[in-house]
Structure 1
């Protein structure tokens, strides 16, 4: 009987294999991976979660293409999509971002799309720290006092920033012996200028003393010595920080220059004692103009060769605020 039992077992095993094989052929593995659509604010942190690819499997996940390249990362086990390069989630650069994800298990695959739409936010407000409340309450056209750290963060993190008035090297030169009185217009007539279609949004200078009360920023699109007009409100009171600089932010500039622009500044009587300058080899080929009173034309000013007044503005050709 034993040989007969063995034969039956062999036949039953063969039948199970056939049934199992037919069953797999009739009901193949089907993967369902759903698209991930997300609307979010620009400027997220690197590593921030965007969402998870929803599927009916516990397989693996990978990104096979993305636009822009390097924007997204994915957890290969869970399918969670995260921010890989936060700098690409910038509304002024990319209003939308996409990726193609493949979910796979046991040789079967399914494709899911990741679609991210960015909300435009005020990048200046986002980058501020100590001065957020003052910026919130200010009206368009107002200057507010900010810190040196905030000024530098704005210069380094906003797009298409240009420095006008002086270069960093000129501004950071050691001050000379100049000590002018208040109530004067001062301009570097050979200065880095704003390109056409620029928006001025920040300013700094080194006073000899005082808090800057009543000082004005003036802008010209005519030349470095003519056509100057007041730009916004007077500069507010601001306490000097280490290094002696005063830093300011302009709110709501919505009118770009139609031509290359130049800046100068006026120090009001009683609010400030002059403005630092340098007269040295670092100022070779530089020319300054200064004239008493609040003027738009500096062509009759006193001109000094190889001098630099310490002031600088920040402008951009790309509006990044409300």
Structure 2
């Protein structure tokens, strides 16, 4: 029995076959920066990787893996942490340089399906949303942030057009009753938003997405993770990133565009610009989307987009965060950091 067949997977790895096809032959040491249920890790081991470093900030990910991870022996190493620090984590695991990095950005199916984690408006649970189960929760943000900052989060992270109206209602309601439950917040949004037409998203979808991104600093972590992968990959190493909404995909697209295009960087000491050698070669000119067969097997894959690139031998360079498409609130946070 191969590692990929060791146990039923509650989370189906999205766009797995396109990743394996473009990365073939899969060899050496890979890092799965969003381990989750281990679907990508097991598939990489089955495809030929000699070792996989599985990284996740959610303690429950490794609890779920306990039933099968031992069958992989020393070919699989599980490391607690955020993929934003993947180069440091790989170094601590004695795995540098890496032959490949795969990232599946966003919330997992398991997290959405667990009401007690507070990610979903469809099930009542604590208003939490913390992937690492530490730090300020969604309830903390909703109950303490000023109205303007709440509105900015809903608008910039959720692209919610009614952000100011929703933020105003939250601030009004929390004066008498603090928000502690997911259905409590979803009910407020349902109350002030028009009922969705059949086939349209629930009115709370964008707000919950925005709060989740803010709680977990997901866009900042993505930008840092891309730069960490660039530092960690050997020449010829593969970077594969799966995203699920336009904010994430835009950051990955712009990062790889700039890193693969020999973008010019101005020098303080010379009137001309200094040409940077491309640090990546694109393996996907356009984002790869799920085909009809994958969508039939896994409807949750419908919004997934895959972008891949191969590391060159050019020295790693820090990305210009202003060109990546980070919302201004995320950009301010990364600049302070």
Shorter-chain TM-score bucket reads: under 0.3
Q: Which has the higher strand share?
A: 1
TM-score (norm 1): 0.27
TM-score (norm 2): 0.26
Q: Which has the higher helix share?
A: 2
Larger radius of gyration: 1
